Amino acid sequence: QLPALIISTAAGVVVTRVSSDMDLGRQIRDQFFIHPKAIGTAAGILLLLGLVPGLPQLPFLLLATLSGTAAYYISQGQRRAEEERQMVEREAPSAPAEEAIDPLEALAPIDLLELEVGYGLIPLVDVEQDGELLSRIRSVRRQIAQELGAMVPPLHIRDNLQLKPGEYSILIKGVEVARGELMLDHYLAMSPGETSGEIQGIPTTEPAFGLPAYWIRAEEKEKAQFAGYTVVDLSTVIITHLTEVIKQHIHELLSREDVQKLLNRFAQDYPKVVEELVPAQLSLGGVQKVLQNLLREQIPIRDLLTILETLADYAPLIKDPLILTEYVRQSLARVITKKWATPEGELGAVILAFEAEEKLSKAIQRTDHGSYLALDPTTTQRLIGELSKAVERWPVERYPVPILLTAPLIRPHVKRLIESFLPQLVVLSHNEILSTVRINNLGVVRI
């Protein structure tokens, strides 16, 4: 049996040999010693055979020792060779390797939402150092989703050595949209309007709303609170600023993929509404533009049933997303009224004069790709000037947000015209306000 086994093994080795210029003996030797694990396994088997009663122990133990020693030295040699290879690769110039990489493959996808912090703010985001910023960011995402109905993409946080130690930057799609600087080991004290005393601190400006504030030390915190100041820590300052930035740019973060997810989830309860609208009457991109127009002016999109049914009613006749948005806003009159009216059911607003509305309506130009307002610079400057005066005289203590009432036809064009100059001014049409709300006329804007 032993000669037959040896002959069969030899025949298998010869038959399965890979063709090469190397002789058979050298090739078997090199392949045999290339895998130290195989030799180590053989050493273990020989050791077990040497322990079996009735078999010659000395030869098996001697072969097991030789095989185990060989496996150990071969493994150590391969490890040293690998370390030397890695050292050579680190010391070698990286230009050839970089040239070999495809530039398109090297480009990483851009993050929709990023927060860059200076090295002094790293403890705020490090969980091991009791940093609470990450958990509060998750709460902000849930809050905005519940408030506006839009999904906020994950926030990518990283340190940036180019920033100052207490500085942070908020980026959307790789471009910085806001920046702030904090004073480490300090608190931010803001005056709500009425305070009972002075505090010692460094004057500054609150980054989210631009309000005057003071940086105070920890030992001054209780004194400032007792004096009536609102005192917040560094994490709260960043979270407040981040929340406002996300709300201002939430329409930019709503992608087609997000809209498709919303429709898929909504179709589980109302499949016919989605089937009728998308893509038969309106494309996915058209629905996205309408939702973006609503979010652009902080109108919640949680009531998808009303939004999609309104689009299904008007989409067969109208394809302009701007006009479709106005019809949707009128259907959401209850939501809009509740958002801007006072708890007593009162709405303070300035009203655009009839002559001004007529002049603006005549300046609207309609094309195959939509409509736009072609207003001369002089009229534009006068309109913005009059609206700025109305905002300056606005009774903030009674009505927190200034509101302008216009005709439905010109409402979106007026908003687009003034949003760069007066972003805080809310523009509503008469059809977006419920009849049960009492409108308090605070003035008439004329051109």
Q: CA torsion 202→123→208→170, rounded to 10°?
A: 130
pLDDT in tens, 145-162: 999 999 899 999 999 999
pLDDT in tens, 407-438: 999 999 999 999 989 999 999 999 999 999 99
Helix/strand/coil for 20: coil
pLDDT in tens, 17-29: 665 566 777 776 6
Range 25-52 average pLDDT: 79
Report residue 351: phi and psi, to 5°: -115, 140
* Per-residue pLDDT, 369: 76
CA atoms of 155 and 135, how far apart (whole Å): 12
Range 68-91 average pLDDT: 74
Strand ranges (E), 46-166: 113-117, 156-159
Q: At what angle do helices 284-296 and 304-314 cross, to 10 degrees?
A: 120
- Percent of the chain beyond pLDDT 90? 60
Q: Which amino acid is at 247?
A: K
Q: What is the DSSP letter of 18?
A: P
pLDDT in tens, 81-124: 777 666 655 555 544 444 455 555 556 678 899 999 999 999 99
* Per-residue pLDDT, 95: 44
